[in-house]
Amino acid sequence: MFRSSSQRHATESFARKVAKTSNKKQPPSFRAPSSSRRYERAAAQMDHQTQSSPRTQTSPTITSAIITICIGREQRLFAAHEDVLGHSPYLSMLCQSQFYESNKRIDLPDEEPEVFSSVLEYLYKGDYYPRLEYDKRRQNWQLEDGTNPERQSTVESTVFMDGVGVVVLKDTVIYCTAEKYGLPELQRLALRKQGLQSGIQCSTILTSARYAYMNTPDNDSKLRAHYLALIIRSRHTFKRSGTMQMEMEAGGKLFFDLFVALSNHMDDMSESKRTPLH
């Protein structure tokens, strides 16, 4: 059902282009009071909030009922404790609807099993694979197995969304699912992990950005800002992308926001050049 892949390419990969530009001192990307700059600040704030380790794991009570969850079109079955599912307002509401049923079962045909498995892992353990690890020597956070070449290929960064027929970054889908389930800490964690991914193709970035716009509210100032900033920083790569041309011709709110953000970015660059140095 899934056709996941790490989407890693050497040389001309999108993420390597990002890595080169991120090492340079960047002028402000978005100009106040535009919504684009507000998005960028919010994304930076979220990134700062996720510098700490994930939340502690949840231990279910002995008397907690076991709920069967049926996921996706293939009806893959999961089992979870009711009090663990109760950490999500959305899942808690579904559990309550089964209060008088002897065989408690929740059907979620529109969800992807691989994504729900990660959400369930988070509810129990406070994180999901690949987990965040702190490198004391480098003093930064990284993904589990991220520095091990032998195991890097096992870290699946994308998931094939059977419902829409496209490949999307898994952390983006988890972020959107966490929005639906009322799990803001999981949203922060998913966004942080996505920022640590590398070697992602332009086409995957664009399909993921469109998916994010389709599955987040208009007032989302974090995941959408992440994609706007990502595309602007690597605009020289994207302007050579045939997928970018097709996506722009298809249109949508994503590309209007991108136009506004890019215009403000260029204005900021012009203003910085006119500002005398002291």
Residues 192 and 252 in one domain: yes
Average pLDDT rounded to a whole number, residues 255-272: 80
pLDDT at 92: 95
CA distance 52 to 134: 9
Same domain, 71 and 108: yes
> Considering 125, 142, 162, which residue would you say is the last residue of a domain?
125
**What percent of the chain lies above the pLDDT cut of 90?**
43
* Nearest in space to 219 (alpha carbons), one of 16, 45, 42: 42
pLDDT at 19: 40
pLDDT at 243 exceeding the cut of 60: yes
| Domain assignment of residue 240, yes or no | yes
DSSP string, 190-219: HHHHHHT-----HHHHHHHHHHHHHSS-TT
Query: What was the pLDDT predicted at 276?
Result: 62
The yes-or-no verdict on residue 265 having pLDDT over 50 is yes
pLDDT at 2: 42
Residue 24, domain member (yes or no) = yes
Does residue 27 belong to any structural domain of this protein? yes
CA distances in angstroms from 113 to 69, 149, 185, listed in the order given: 10, 27, 21
Domain count, the chain: 2
Tell which wins on pLDDT, 56 or 143.
Answer: 143
Q: Residue 16 pLDDT more than 60?
A: no
Tens digit of each residue's pLDDT (9 = 90 or more) over 179-236: 999 999 999 999 999 999 888 899 999 999 999 999 999 999 899 999 999 988 888 8
Same domain, 253 and 207: yes
Which pLDDT band, with edges at 50, 70 and 90, does 28 fall under? Answer: very low
With contact defined as beta carbons under 8 Å apart, do 94 and 107 qualify?
A: no
Residue 186 is assigned to a structural domain of this protein: yes
Q: Say yes or no: 45 and 86 in one domain.
A: no
Instruction: Using the 3D structure, point to which of 125, 151, 166 is the last residue of a domain.
Output: 125
The tens digit of pLDDT for each residue in 88-120 reads 999 999 999 876 666 789 999 999 999 999 999
- pTM value is 0.74
Same domain, 221 and 260: yes
Could you say which of 98, 125, 152 is where a domain stops?
125
Same domain, 150 and 242: yes
Q: Specify whether 100 is located in the same domain as 226.
A: no
Residue 1 lies in a domain: no
Domain of 156?
Answer: 14-54+133-273
Task: Verify that 205 and 83 share a domain, yes or no.
Answer: no
What is the pLDDT, as a whole number, of residue 36?
44
Average pLDDT, the chain: 79
- 78 and 205 in a single domain? The answer is no
- Let me know if residue 172 belongs to a domain: yes
Q: How many CB atoms lie within 10 A of CB 112?
A: 25
Q: Which pLDDT does position 33 carry in this prediction?
A: 37
| Residues 225 and 147 grouped into a single domain | yes
